[in-house]
A and B are shown apart, each in its own frame.
Chain A
Amino acid sequence: MTQVIAFIVDALVHATPLIITGLAVAIAFRAGIWNIGADGQLIAGATAAAWVGVAAPASIGWLALPLALIAAAVAGGVWAAIAAWLRSRFGVLEVISTIMLNFIATYGVSYLVRGPLQEPSHVYPQTSSIANGAHMPTLVSGTRLHWGFVIALALAVVTWWVMRYTAAGFRIRASGVNPFAARSAGLIDVRRVTTVAFIASGAIAGVAGAIEISGVTFALYENISPGYGYTAIAVALLAGLNPIGVVGTGILFGALETAAGTMQRNVGIPATTASVIEAIAILAVIAITQLRTRNAASVA
């Protein structure tokens, strides 16, 4: 029984960054932006959060946590804004630029944790631990489950509401599905709308990084993200880009990756198998969607 509870807790802890990056991807994809860079944006957010968490004086107490979250959102947004700017100013495909920025973020962290942000003894490639005030409070005492999971749920509800009920959300959806009609019939400034959505997507992914730092690792390491941003694509697509659905698929993949980790330790099945399953999930969704639209087309 305790094993089951431990598994559920682990799965939810694992699901938290997946839900949040899944939302980030869903927003971007809804806007017609192929943001493959949630990973880099998460890393940028984690870096900013760690920096704030380490640098925060003890005197500001719990204020360090919101500060870290805000810094992470800004950093993630800025990281996405680079790709957004390259896209709108120079027409650079965001698929390529965001992947490049993922690599740059990864090597950037590698440099920082061995250089300017390394812990004082200069032994380990990591930062010092963040201040206690920057820790995310635990949700269920005695477990690792923290309030970040609740933040993830709240973000999902807010995203769903914005997309469905606000004019801004409608503009994002219209611009993503058919930018020509959005521009011509809706007089929507598509370039502006998609740029804002892109940056918002990056900011949300950045928050996921802050929550990892403040709720799980408490310091910045190399490999802070085991590819959350890529898994997020599977999470978002499997949910049909629906923010509420993302919660479900995020938990599903959180459980999957937790199970994969356990199996690698106990049975020797490689953890990379999880990404194979994710890929197959994406391909299955694509195949079903395509076959369904084909049938619909042949009937019409």
Chain B
Amino acid sequence: MNDVALELASITKRFGRATALDSASLSARRGTVHALLGENGAGKTTLMRIAFGMLRPDAGSISVDGVCQAFASPSDAIAAGIGMVHQHFTLVPAMTVTENIALGGLGAFRPMRTRVAISALAKRTGLAVDPDARIETLSAGAQQRVEILKALSRNARVLILDEPTAILTPTEARDLLHKVRELVSSGGTAILITHKLRDALEFADDITVLRRGTTVWSGFTSTATEDGLISAMLGGERVLGDVTSTVATPGGAAVMSLQNVSVRDAFGIERLKPTTLSIRAGEIVGVAGVEGSGQRELLRVLAGRISATAGRVTIPPIVGFIPEDRQRDALIQDFSLRDNIALLGAGTREGLMAWSDIGDYARTMMLGYDVRAHDENVRAGTLSGGNQQKLVVGREVGGSHTALVAENPSRGLDVQAAAAVRTRIRAARDAGMAVVIYSSDLDEILAIADRVIVACAGRVSEAPMEYESIGRAMLGLAQA
């Protein structure tokens, strides 16, 4: 049982001048679950992309079952017995489960035969899916099962799972991790990329911790302690220092309110069922929900970015909005920072652009919000993710706004940048703004919100500020 299935030795990877991995190592034993722990930006995904042939290392070696390998592409890694389930699924939404699993094969494609094989595999592994369902009709949990089946159908002996529980409800997540344990009991190996200590301690046999691209700890889970792992991951940096949140119950006036508001999409499907709520000045309302539960529409209605199908929406003329996909929806990468700031209110501006005033404002704001760039004339696309988000936050809360809607505002940021963003949002609340924040990370919601609402299947309800209760509400279960 002690032979090594996947060995990554002294892997170094640079992107331009930045070093993503600096001599990182990992050794996964056959028949075990191996957790790869680290904060966002520690290099976990980069390391695993190298193991899966998506990136080539600048130095170091990869061996599978003791045989040294040089992968030129994922197909080489797949041939060597490695499978990967990406954090953002790599499924084709318009195609069926069968077609997706068959993808990458050779020769004639016989849907019926593939279908039978998938059903058999699904039965054997307990990963239930309908082979004829189109991916876009499946829940996130079902899509994840398809991803795992896809890897297993290619005879993957080492299965890499990148943050597999990030988009699942707590119950779904535990269910999945139990399934993974069953899979390795028959001789496979699973590598679990995660930043959740709890999952690693409960489900992994071995743990490797990465920090800033370097392996800082590795060993049996039985020899690890929670405190030890935390200090390994964070290296003594006080990160959760920004967590304390609660303030006195706000008594401000309602700034945003919805009365029986519902939203239908282009196909007439009711994404948000009739909802009534109000957000007061000086409070942060957290929104929880599994992807596709209606929170996307709820946030956009509150932000005035889409219009309601029915009901009455009362919001200020301009609501600050931090959308999830800032690269696409919040910034114009090819525009300068000044021009990106000028976007604010561009839809209703008349006459001339007051460029020199806008430039002055941009410089002041960049100072105030710690946006690090040479000056306001550099292209937004040249900024780091953290600086881009600080620019967006500054634009959306820095003006004369009285309300802010934020969607996963710290996703993809490193620890410091995420904390800075949360600090700004709290400051906006303290200055009297009404704030609504959605995060796919429950811990973040609990850390920042004054109260929580949960979206489930298009319905919105209030929930107590407590992990298990929110989890049950996300699944639409009665409170225990």
* Interface residue stretch chosen among B93-101, B272-280, B307-315, B322-330: B322-330
A298 to B14 Cα, complex, angstroms = 11
Q: How far is the CA of A171 from the CA of B352 in the complex (A)?
A: 11
Provide the bound-state CA to CA distance between A170 and B325, in Å. 22
A184-B305, A185-B321 known; A177 and B351 CB under 8 Å? no
In the bound complex, CA of A300 to CA of B388 (Å): 14
CB-contacts of B323-356 with A (<8 A): 323, 325, 328-335, 339-340, 342-353, 355
In chain B, what residue has the closest Cβ to A190?
B347
**B343 to A185, Cβ gap below 8 A?**
yes
CB-CB contacts below 8 Å: B95-111 with A: none
User: B329 and A181: CB pair below 8 A?
Assistant: yes
Q: Is the CB of B349 within 8 A of A184?
A: no
* Interfacial chain A residues near B340, Cβ < 8 Å: 185
Task: Let me know if A170 and B329 touch, CB within 8 A.
Answer: no
Q: Which of B304, B339, B351, B353 has the most CB of A within 10 A?
A: B353
Is A184 a contact of B345 with CB atoms below 8 Å? no
Are A171 and B328 within 8 A (Cβ)?
A: no
Which of A165, A167, A181 interacts with B331 by CB under 8 Å?
A181
Q: List chain B residues, Cβ under 8 A from A187.
A: 304-305, 318, 345-348
The answer to whether the Cβ of A166 comes within 8 Å of any Cβ in the partner chain is yes
> In the bound complex, do residue B346 and residue A188 qualify as a contact, i.e. CB atoms below 8 Å apart?
yes
Instruction: Let me know if A185 and B16 touch, CB within 8 A.
Output: no
In this assembly, does B382 line the interface, its C-beta being within 8 Å of a C-beta of chain A?
A: yes
Q: Which residues of A contact B17 (CB under 8 A)?
A: 299
Which residues does chain B contribute within 8 Å of A166, judged by CB atoms? 351-353
Complex Cα distance A188/B323, Å? 16
Cα distance, A183 to B306, chains bound together (Å): 10
A167–B355 CA distance with the chains assembled, in angstroms = 10
- What's the least CB distance linking A116 to chain B, in Å? 44
| B396, chain A: closest CB distance, angstroms | 8
Q: Are A165 and B355 in contact (CB under 8 A)?
A: yes
Chain A residues, CB < 8 A from B347? 171, 186-189
A170 contacts which chain B residues (CB < 8 A)?
339, 342, 346, 349, 353
**Which residues of B have CB within 8 Å of A299?**
16-17
Closest beta carbon of chain A to B377's beta carbon, Å: 14
The reply to whether B330 and A167 form a contact with Cβ atoms under 8 Å apart is no
Q: Is the CB of B346 within 8 A of A174?
A: yes
Instruction: Give residues 7-55 of B contacting A (CB, 8 Å).
Output: 16-17
A99 at the interface (CB under 8 A from B): no
List residues of B (351-406) whose CB comes within 8 Å of A's CBs.
351-353, 355, 381-382, 392, 395
A103 interface residue per 8 A CB criterion: no
Residue pair B16, A167 in contact (C-beta under 8 Å): no
Q: Does A107 contact B (CB under 8 A)?
A: no
The CA-CA distance from A189 to B323 in the complex, in Å, is 18
Question: From A189, which residue of chain B is reached at the shortest CB distance?
Answer: B347
State how many angstroms separate the Cβ of A299 from the closest Cβ of chain B. 5
How far does the alpha carbon of A180 sit from the alpha carbon of B343 in the complex, in Å? 12
The CA-CA distance from A189 to B334 in the complex, in Å, is: 20
User: CB distance A177 to B334 under 8 Å?
Assistant: yes
Name the distance in Å between B51's Cβ and chain A's nearest Cβ: 23
Given contacts A165-B355, A166-B351, A189-B347, contact A184 B330 (CB under 8 A): yes
**Residues of A contacting B323 in the complex (Cβ-Cβ under 8 angstroms):** 184-185
Enumerate chain B residues within 8 angstroms of A165, measured Cβ to Cβ: 352-353, 355
* Whole-angstrom CA separation of A186 from B323 in the bound complex: 13
Partner of B346, one of A167, A177, A180: A167
A interface with B by C-beta (< 8 Å) = 165-167, 169-171, 173-174, 177-178, 180-189, 298-300
Given contacts A170-B339, A185-B331, 15 further A-B contacts (CB under 8 A): A167-B350, A167-B351, A167-B352, A170-B342, A174-B332, A174-B339, A177-B334, A181-B329, A182-B343, A184-B329, A186-B345, A186-B347, A187-B305, A187-B345, A299-B16
The 3 closest A-B pairs by CB, nearest first: A187-B347, A186-B346, A167-B349
